[in-house]
Amino acid sequence: MPNSSSPTQAPSRMRQNCGPEQKPAAPGFEAEILARAQTGDHQAFAQLYSVHKRRIYSLCLRMVGNVAEAEDLTQEAFLQLHRKIATFRGDSAFSTWLHRLAINVVLMQLRKKGLSLISLDEAMDPAPEDGPSRSFGAPDLKLSGAIDRLALEKAVGDLPAGYRLIFILHDVEGFEHNEIASMLDCSIGNSKSQLHKARLKLRDALRSQSRAEEQA
Amino acid sequence: MTGDPGNLSCEEFQAQLAELVGSGEGPAAHPHVQSCERCRALLVDLETIAEAARQLFPSVEPPDEVWEQIESAIKQEGK
């Protein structure tokens, strides 16, 4: 197989990440690399890795909360990409397709770990008892002050996997609901609804933490 | 459901909230929110959480070893 290459040496515009870089600054450029990678060009595949590695790794890390596991999942996602890249036909954006592939790898891992996730459908439809509380009735406490990163990390980590996934894709990674719906084979309305429930659950968790700290 | 958005109960308003938030129309301008302190506080909290997620969770670079392992596995599969 082809020569070794360092994905960290990709052209600077390919290295730009952070935020939704797959709303391509240079779509023709990525399309050309993608086309080359589809023909087995290892250098082009390394460039694709360079462009997408941060978001895929970050997604894995946020979903499993463990560095070693996230590294393994990132590796597996890109290996699957290598095996399947020739089948990409451009029906969706490449980043959407790649994220869908990575999400399936992550969900497979969660299933292996014994979490009650059998399919994306179940991920998108948590048990009723996992739902957020409503906010009518007794007066509510507002979240006070700035949200602490560790507190938010813990709250996100405690979310049911389906809610966590939607929250990460939309609020952390910046995907739009139509993109998430395409990734998860669900309706846009379902994506909106799950995101809303995820935020409500996070609010519940953060307020509980805040109350516990006040009482300590 | 009532036809006047200003006469919605909190329950009715919150049932529409996911769609309102996702529509980008700005639920803060909804007539119910103008007159309901509890739902206004809820909206502020949800916006604070979304904003915190954007600011507190930067993307993370995987270590170089991940690529090395991918390359190694690709070579193995190619043999």
Task: Say yes or no: A4 and A105 in one domain.
Answer: yes
Residues of B in contact with A149 (CB under 8 A): 52, 56-57
Taking only the tens place, the pLDDT of each residue in A49-65 is 999 999 999 999 999 99
| Structural domain boundaries in chain B | 5-78
Task: Say yes or no: A126 and A193 in one domain.
Answer: yes
Task: Say yes or no: A95 and A130 in one domain.
Answer: no
Task: Say yes or no: A98 and A131 in one domain.
Answer: no
In chain A, pLDDT over 90 holds for what percent of residues? 50
* Comparison of pLDDT for A18 and B70, the residue scoring more: B70
Sequential DSSP letters for A96-165: HHHHHHHHHHHHHHHHHTT-S--SHHHHTS--GGGSPPP--SSPPPPPPSSPPHHHHHHHHHHS-HHHHH
- Which of A11-25, A51-65, A125-139 bottoms out in mean pLDDT, i.e. has the lowest? A11-25
Domain that holds residue A65: 1-115
Task: Say yes or no: A7 and A68 in one domain.
Answer: yes
Distance, in Å, from the CA atom of B10 to the CA atom of A156, rounded to the nearest integer, reads: 26
Taking only the tens place, the pLDDT of each residue in B26-73 is 788 888 888 888 888 888 888 899 989 988 888 899 999 999 999 999
B41:A142 CB<8 A: yes
Last residue of a domain, one of A91, A115, A139: A115
By the CB < 8 Å criterion, does A15 face chain B?
no
Task: Say yes or no: A170 and A205 in one domain.
Answer: yes
**How near does any CA of chain B get to the CA of A211, in Å?**
15
Taking only the tens place, the pLDDT of each residue in B2-21 is 456 667 888 888 888 888 87
Which residue in the set B54, B63, B70 is minimally distant from A49, CB to CB?
A: B70
Task: Say yes or no: A134 and A64 in one domain.
Answer: no
Task: Say yes or no: A23 and A50 in one domain.
Answer: yes
State the total domains in chain A. 2
